[in-house]
Amino acid sequence: MSGLLKSSIGRKFAMALSAFFLMFFLLQHFAINITSIFPDNGATFNKLSHFMGTNGLVQYVMQPILIFGVVFHFVMGFILEMKNNSARKVSYAKNNGAANSTWMSRNMIYSGAAILAFIVLHFIDFWFPEINTKFIQGDWSGLHDGEFRYFHELQHKFVSPLRVGAYVIAFVFLALHLLHGFSSAFQSVGANNKYTRGLKTFGKIYAIGIPAGFIIIALFHHFNH
C-alpha cells in the first residue's frame, strides 16, 4: 500500500478509488435521506435511520471504513495539490491554464475545501450528537417521548435559514467537485473505452442530480416543519 502511494500514478489511482467509494456512499446517503420527504410523516426515514444507526455491521465495520475513506480522500487531495503545484511552477509561464482546462478542474482544491467545511458543520449537526447519544449516553433505543426521534431531529435542524443557506451553498460546491471528479476518477483508473461517452453522461447526471436532490431535501424541510 505505501509502495502504491509513493508514485504519482499510484496516488492518483488511490485517490480515484476513495472517490468511487465516497460516491457510492453519497448515493446510499441520498437514497435514505430522500425518504424523509415521503408523505408518510417520516415513518420510512425513521425505520431506515434506526436500522442504519443500530446495525452492528453498519456501526462497527462500515462506519469506521467510511470515516477512514473521508479522511484519506481529503489528506490525499491536499498532497496531490501540493505536488502538482510544485511540479507546475516551472511551466506555468507557457501554460495558460484557462485555455486548456475547466474552472472546475483547476479549483478542485477549493471546492474540496468547501465540502470539508460542510462536513465539519454536518458532523456537529448530526454525527456527533448520534455518537453522544449512543456511545456516551448508551441510549440505543432511537426513541424520544415514546416515538422514533430521527425525523424530528432532522426537521429541527432545517429550521434555521442560515444553516439551510450554508448547506445549499455547500451542495453547489459538491456539484462542481463531482462534475470534474467523476470523469477524472475514471481517467485515473484507465477507463477509456467504448463506454466512456456513456459514463461521462452518467457522471453529469450524477454530479448534478445528487446535489440537487440534497438541496430539495434541505429546502423541503425548511419550508415544511
Q: How many CB atoms lie within 10 A of CB 48?
A: 16
Closest approach, Cβ 206 to ligand HEM, in A, equals: 13
Q: Is 217 in the site for ligand HEM (CB under 6 A)?
A: yes
Quote the CA–CA distance of 75 and 72 in Å, as a whole number. 5
CA 166/CA 92 separation, integer angstroms: 35
Q: Say whether residue 127 binds ligand HEM (CB under 6 A).
A: yes
Residue from 5, 17, 37, 53 binding ligand HEM (CB under 6 A): 53
Total residues binding ligand HEM (CB under 6 A):
17
Q: Closest Cα to residue 150, out of 51, 9, 217?
A: 51
User: Using CB under 6 A, which of 33, 44, 105, 155 touches ligand HEM?
Assistant: 33
CA distance linking residue 68 with residue 219, whole number of Å: 30
Q: Does 148 bind ligand HEM (CB under 6 A)?
A: no
> With CB under 6 A as the contact rule, which of the stretches 3-11, 104-112, 196-204, 214-222 interacts with ligand HEM?
214-222
Q: Determine the 3-state secondary structure of 204 from DSSP.
A: helix
Q: Which of 13, 21, 126, 206 binds ligand HEM (CB under 6 A)?
A: 126
147, β-bridge pairs: 144
Min dist CB 70 to ligand HEM, Å, is 6
Burial class (CB in 10 A: 0-12, 13-18, 19+), 18: buried
Under rule CB under 6 A, residue 24 binds ligand HEM? no
| β-strand partners of 143 | 148
Q: Which of residues 74-113 bind ligand HEM (CB under 6 A)?
A: none
Cα distance between residue 12 and residue 190, in whole Å = 11
The reply to whether 72 sits near ligand HEM by the rule CB under 6 A is no
Binding residues for ligand HEM, per CB under 6 A? 26, 29, 33, 53, 63, 66, 70, 115, 122, 126-127, 130, 154, 174, 214, 217-218
